[in-house]
Amino acid sequence: MNISSLRIVNINPTPIIQEVSNCFPSVIYFSATLSPKEYYHTLLGGKNIREDLKVISSPFDKKRRLILVDSNLSLKYKDRNDTISAVFNDIINLVQCKKGNYMIFSPSFQYLSLLQACLEQYKKTNDISLIVQTSEMDSRQREEFLSNFKEDNNRTTIGLVVLGG
């Protein structure tokens, strides 16, 4: 029998995280969300959520944040092929309003590649910069990716990333 690849997946990392965390007098876990709180508290080995979990507010200016939701679209796995065109149109309608930096979060790398194909076509006739996350990015590549988003960009920059990726 020839085995060409092997993948080991740890379904419950809690014991490993607890073992490593117990080696230190204190541990700080950082995440943009850590939500739902109870899930991550348990996953990270917390014992008393009221004492263990400290939540700090975001350092980012809320006045510079805009969250738009198109509640008519579904990104559920079964609906993705049917809604890609409408999602693409929403993105284009948004980025045409104002030059700037945009980060588009995709539910998966597969969906990201569908969006990428649409945006590559759009890019052929429009002055935009498209930067796409890959699943194998190391820390240097992630820093390089983020360095494309400058405050004084003279053209629209669109970053495609996977949510939680």
If you average pLDDT over every residue of the chain, what do you get? 84
Residue 41 has a pLDDT of 76
For 89-121, write each residue's pLDDT tens digit. 999 999 998 888 999 999 899 999 999 999 999
Q: Which residue has the tokens 């820093």?
A: 143
Residue 160 has a pLDDT of 95
Q: Sorting pLDDT into bands at 50, 70 and 90, what band is 31?
A: low
Among 157, 155, 128, 163, which Cα is nearest to 145's? 157
Give me the percent of the chain exceeding a pLDDT of 90: 30
Quote the crossing angle between the two packed helices 109-123 and 80-95, to the nearest 10°. 50
pTM above 0.85, yes or no: no
